Amino acid sequence: MGVDKPGLVKLKCAVKNYDWGKVGEKSSVSRLYANNSRAEVDADSPYAEFWMGTHDSGPSYAAVPNGDSEERRDNGFKRENSNSVSLKDWIDRNPAVLGDRVLEKWGPNLPFLFKVLSVAKALSIQAHPDKELAVILHKQQPGVYKDDNHKPEMALALTEFEALCGFIGLEELKSVIQSVPEIVEIVGSSRADQVLQITENDGEKKLKEVFKSLFTDLISVSNSVISEIIPKLIRRLNSKREKLTEKEELVLRLERQYPGDIGVIAAFLFNYVKLNPGEALYLGANEPHAYIHGECIECMATSDNVVRAGLTPKHRDVQTLCSMLTYKQGFPEILNGVPSNPYTVKYIPPFDEFEVDRCNLPEEASTIFPAVNGPSVFVVTSGEGTMGVASSKELVREGDVLFAPANSEITVETISGLNLYRAGVNSRFLEDSDTSKTY
């Protein structure tokens, strides 16, 4: 079974009701999911993630034409009755929709997973394994690590967005050791002295060894010690309420969300990042992070592997996390994107699997997404308009998700304004003639 040149394919997508999600209609995820699936929003339930892709934990379903059915028209636009099949199965039957470069490297699989996140309270302190470790973890604990793929990812802020990302630099670390006595009480004075005495001249390897030892000692501490130390920390911070730093304010917030959790203290060791709408943050394998608050578009390699160590009631794998981290220090790079045209900005992280476009069309405007030799997934986050391949047009509005096959030029038009995001395979990969190159 196959198709030569299919047009846009509408997708019905999955939702995740994790307890850190925004509740009811306060969540953009709930609104997108309700419009996408024609489902009612439960006013008391959290709506955390809207998934668009082929991962088995939250597959999308494609509305594919039923050749035996009669055509119908809505508002002058051609529609066909359709059957629903998983996007993964439809791609497997029609692999040409991925393009030859993508098919050659990843087989008949969509290499990226696209999401919208609505974050009300902090996600776990976590990292994602590289490909080699993912294979091992999936084999050892398939119930915990759901697949054998790596998971580099990027978060593009829809609202003001807060995150912990990567370890702080050496000078800030020394300041933390000197100003947070509770950390010294946990790790011991000799470990703290190691940090205070080391310099940049000691070399990157030595710096990482010291940071690894400090973090491992801290995150591995027993519950009995933590139950004594955290109340002491909170009392001290509350006593200096008018002079708190941003990081100390954050620590108090985290403690209210996850009382008695080692992640509350560990937060001092991570960079506190605040993104404005339109700014993006990318995370490679084995880099620690925790999203704190806000809404974002997220894209990643097709995986759901998470190694957690704090700020969570879920399974923690502290030993694996401590052994896998890169212990790279310093503030992460923030992407502002590169304009493709007056309405579209492209964000290209250093990963083969994906890139993201942000498109904001004003009233009575149109734009074109040029044909590329790879698949695309579009999500309309607000407004309405039309999208089409050649002369075939689809009415689209908030919550619509569409799959575009490789080598499809997409025209977008709107009367009242429209905002959408596109996920696709990294342009650098598609344009690079060396198919063996990876980032």
Distances (CA, A) of 265 to 11, 40, 161, 229, 234: 42, 40, 21, 9, 10
* Predicted model pTM: 0.91
Q: Which of 42-56, 65-79, 88-102, 368-382 has the lowest mean pLDDT?
A: 65-79
398 vs 255: CA distance, rounded Å = 36
Whether the per-residue pLDDT at 353 is higher than 80: the answer is yes
Average model confidence (pLDDT) across the chain: 91
| pLDDT at residue 150, as a whole number | 82
Shortest CA distance to 423 belongs to which of 83, 61, 52?
52
pLDDT in tens, 162-207: 999 999 999 999 999 999 999 999 999 999 999 999 998 888 899 9
**How many residues appear in the chain?**
439
| 81, pLDDT greater than 50 | no
Domains plus CATH for the chain?
Answer: 125-335 (1.10.441.10)
pLDDT score of 82 more than 70: no
Percent of the chain scoring above 90 in pLDDT: 79
Write out the DSSP string of 371-403. Answer: --SS-EEEEEEEEEEEEEETTEEEEEETT-EEE
Q: Decide if 428 is catalytic.
A: no
Task: Using the predicted structure, report yes or no on whether residue 349 has a pLDDT greater than 90.
Answer: yes
Catalytic, out of 31, 308, 358, 422: 308
